[in-house]
Structure 1
């Protein structure tokens, strides 16, 4: 099968099948081979790797993944793309299997054991921007056997994922991603390398999944509640933000916890390191147990 990466070939396939791009599904097809190689090289795909690709589109990136990986499982939500993928663009690739499903609803662990022999997977995707965070967090939070996530996302989202404390991009997403992963930007991506062109710039980012979370917490649910509550009103002090949250502690109890954690009442969420959030959450867990 001729490579799809050229604008000419992509337009031919789209026209042949009468395919209509869906704005609601955030469909933008990649037409630049250099970017594809940067994605694959950044993911360090080798012959023993099994890959889950989320949203293969017409199979542009999938073709290149198939040439490097042991097997590719492509999960595509749009049923209109399945005839294109199975009937034409991926027809000659025996190591590719296409599943028509919503990645946010399908049983991913079951798929991995049924289709990929239960191996640890690498996730590679040009993600629809409107569901980037839910998809990434699903792979991280549900103990799915993942060793690497390499995704193209909106530039601002990538900036938040790799942000540092005391910056405007630092927030709840930063802490959540860095709790599980070590982020590294692979390349920036201009709008011109897509059909149709999106309205935003993109970034390819690699999230190297850690063998164990970056910090030890007594209660993961409380840890993330503390993080979300702290950033919910980021202009307020931690004392005020946490006192107004659903943690179930009054202002005096929050004062006590902050003192135990050696964190000033006047600090704001964006100034805390992930280690400080862990200390704070662990002390809140201890206080709640004693009540």
Structure 2
């Protein structure tokens, strides 16, 4: 039976064996891990995952895929969950499926392009529970996530990813590898969670939101963007002086450490 990809779910299927192996290899070779796959589709990646890792949980929103996956994958270490990834409680899933308390947990997904940002931020909020995440996304977005200060694509998403994890642009996946063929190339990125920055701010969520606001107008200087937040240009200038950040710089040339300094001086 031919399985048609559904546009409203952002589905694009891959079947190339070498590519699938390369993606799974990006997760590493720690067989004891709990793997959570978002959007398994027809199970091309899933089958490889259950053969390598101790436990695999697949979350799929498309009801038509449930029968296909359950028929294809009968391994005891596989669990299927029908549901919307944006509404699912990941903490509960992790708690219920860990075989032992300190088991490492990783996420993997061929991300639907229309909810890439939402899934990414949901993942970052789970950083304390995760060891690693491997995502396939549009190349343009992947470049943005992995961008460093001073690069054209550097934005609040770049800063947020760096705050929580060591980020790496793994490799490009040409659009011809998918069925149906999408309009743009994709890329694989990995996030290895370190959580060392969580102790540097009073609230990671408030910090990430603060940085987002500082990038609201990229053409404005950091002083003007900070003034929009504080409502007081003199106070904003004082914050930047204490953080040793020049007033005329733009947000895209400021490092993660710089943003942390600005945030903490604003809080005082």
Q: TM-score, normalised by structure 2?
A: 0.94
Ranges in structure 2 where 5+ consecutive residues have no aligned partner: none
Residues 79-125 of structure 1, C-alpha deviation per residue, up to 9 Å, x if partnerless?
A: 12111111x221x3221111001111111111112123353311111
CA distance in 1, matches of 2:128, 2:207: 20
Is residue 283 of structure 1 aligned with residue 265 of structure 2?
yes
TM-score of the superposition, structure 1-length normalised?
0.86
Matched with 1:196 is: 180
SS at match of 2:123: helix
Q: CA deviation at 1:212?
A: 2.3
Aligned to 1:89: 72
Residue 215 of structure 1 contacts residue 274 of structure 1 at CA under 8 Å; is this kept in 2?
Answer: no
Give the aligned partner of residue 123 of structure 1: 107
For the residue of structure 1 that corresponds to 2:66, the secondary structure is helix
Q: Using the alignment, how far apart are the partners of 1:213 and 1:75 within structure 2?
A: 30
Per-residue deviation, residues 119-172 of structure 1 (Å, max 9, x unmatched): 331111111111112112112214551100011111111111211111111000
- Aligned pairs for 1:74-153 within 5 A: 74-86=58-70, 88-90=71-73, 92-117=74-99, 119-143=103-127, 145-153=129-137
Is the partner of 1:184 in helix, strand or coil? strand
Q: How many residues align?
A: 266
CA distance 1:162–1:99, shift in 2 (3 Å): same
**Does 1:31 pair with 2:40?**
no
Change (3 A) 1:157 1:74: same
CA contact (8 A) 2:166 2:191 kept: yes
Match of residue 6 from structure 1:
none
TM-aligned CA deviation for residue 190 of structure 1: 0.6
C-alpha contact (below 8 Å) 1:38/1:187 kept by paired residues: no
Report the structure number with the largest CA radius of gyration: 1
What is aligned with 1:289? none
Tell me if structure 2 keeps the 8 A contact 1:219–1:282. Answer: no
SS of 1:24 mapped into structure 2: helix
What CA distance in whole angstroms lies between the structure 2 residues aligned with 1:56 and 1:27? 10
The residue number in structure 1 matching 2:150 is 166
**Residue 270, structure 1, aligned to residue 249, structure 2:** no
Contact 1:226 1:242 in 2 (8 A): no
SS of residue in 2 equivalent to 1:205: strand
- Could you list the runs of 5+ residues in structure 1 that have no partner in the other structure? 1-12, 287-291
